[in-house]
Amino acid sequence: MTTLIAPHGAETLNPLFVADEPTRNALLSEANNLPSLLISSAAAGNAVMLGAGYFTPLDGYMTKADALSVGSSMSTSNGLFWPTPVLNLTADASDYKVGDRIALRDPNVDGEPVLAVQDISSIDVFSDKEIETLVQQVFGTTDPEHPGVAEFRAQGNTAIAGPIQVLNYSYFETEFPDTFRTAMQIRDSISTAGWQKVVAFQTRNPMHRAHEELCHMAMDRLNADGLVIHMLLGKLKPGDIPAPVRDASIRKMIELYFPANSALVTGYGFDMLYAGPREALLHAVFRQNMGATHFIIGRDHAGVGDYYEPFEAQEIFDQIPKDALKIELFKADHTAYSKKLNKVVMMNEAPDHSKEDFVLLSGTAVREMLSKGIAPPVEFSRPEVAKILMEHYQTNS
């Protein structure tokens, strides 16, 4: 029997999804008579992650005190390591009081069905200054142009805290039935495969040659049994490639360029925060919860624009307590195809190279090529992957 890495801060996973069908149906029925709150997309994503066991050991939405503690010290009031606040923020909670049970309605599904039931343990208002401080701590900037900052600020200043019971996985399970997986399901797959050393790879983009080779490098150097490609399925910023297209291109790459039974293609239901270093830590927390022993973090992980230094998301792991996480990092540099060596390498491992020795293309250049029906060079993108992306760009340009 495979012994998997322990979940974060607990001996067993703590999924908040109500798995027992009669209980779930009874809760759905009860929810129809409860006061309702239409929650933000961010709060809905938090509910899905709590439901799926990814946010073990949390039992619901954080209090203001916990969120402020997470902002200042990356731990909750009771000392649990946690890098980003998990909140249910709203602009106005005057219809609710502590002790109420409320039905949380999903803003991302037609008809706004009930996503979860929450028991309110506290209702607290953040001052504008507290929000500003929290935003600076989590995102490293208060610039309203930062997509994560804009999204966080738009939710409101009132935190409704308390435990939740999750009744479904929003649109993720229905729209991505082959890809959306809970932390429990991924642990089961790892266990069934008998993998001991498991590498996780985060992506919100299609995977080009450099990403593919980075996964091979990590597996080879760590002598890993398996790879879990774990893609974000929630909201992105405008211009990012939609999840179904990413999914198709990644599956094609795995099918053709990875040994059978060596990689799982999975996804999780959460909106991108673009919080750089803090989000990298959150990514590590929930990859440990899903059973990965190692996590690849490359250049500008979870970043956006020029808000973060290229390797800040790696360096932050050296600043947290040694025992904060059990999962280990595989630190990666920028990877690119070397014309000198005829293979993809980490750029810091090719000191005798100049920029001209690499095949380097900007995202803008690649998008332009794809939308014109021009495949990027094979050193940059597998032809079979490029074909799927070209079809998307030509249909949507």
Q: pLDDT by residue (tens digit) across 17-70? A: 999 999 999 999 999 999 999 999 999 999 999 999 999 999 999 999 999 999
Q: Which residues are catalytic?
A: 204-205
Task: Give, for 286, the enclosing helix (H) or strand (E).
Answer: helix 277-289
**How much is the average pLDDT of 12-18?**
98
Domain residue extents for the chain: 21-173, 177-396
Instruction: Name residue 55's beta-bridge partners.
Output: none
Q: pLDDT by residue (tens digit) across 212-263? A: 999 999 999 999 999 999 999 998 777 778 888 999 999 999 999 999 999 9
| pLDDT at residue 115, as a whole number | 98
Q: How far apart, in whole angstroms, are the C-alpha atoms of residue 62 and residue 77?
A: 10
Fold of 21-173: Sulfate adenylyltransferase (3.10.400)
Q: Which of 43, 361, 6 is nearest to 210 (CA)?
A: 361
Q: pLDDT by residue (tens digit) across 335-383? A: 999 999 999 999 999 999 999 999 998 888 888 899 899 999 999 999 9
**How much is the average pLDDT of 318-332?**
97
Residue 205 has pLDDT above 90, yes or no: no
Backbone angles phi, psi at 16, to 5 degrees: -95, 5
The first and second tokens of residue 145, run together, are: 């142009």
One-letter amino acid of 261: N
- Using alpha carbons only, give the angle 44, 48, 50 rounded to the nearest 5 degrees: 110
| pLDDT at residue 315, as a whole number | 97
Task: Name the CATH superfamily for 177-396.
Answer: HUPs (3.40.50.620)
| pLDDT at residue 331, as a whole number | 96
| pLDDT at residue 394, as a whole number | 87
- Is the link from the previous residue into 57 a cis peptide, with omega within 30 of 0? yes
| pLDDT at residue 378, as a whole number | 94
pLDDT band at 268 (very low <50, low <70, confident <90, very high): very high
DSSP-derived secondary structure letter, 11 = S
Q: pLDDT by residue (tens digit) across 129-168? A: 999 999 999 999 999 999 999 999 999 999 999 999 999 9
| pLDDT at residue 2, as a whole number | 72
Q: For the beta carbon of residue 35, count every other beta carbon within 10 angstroms.
A: 13
Residue 199 has pLDDT above 70, yes or no: yes
| pLDDT at residue 1, as a whole number | 61
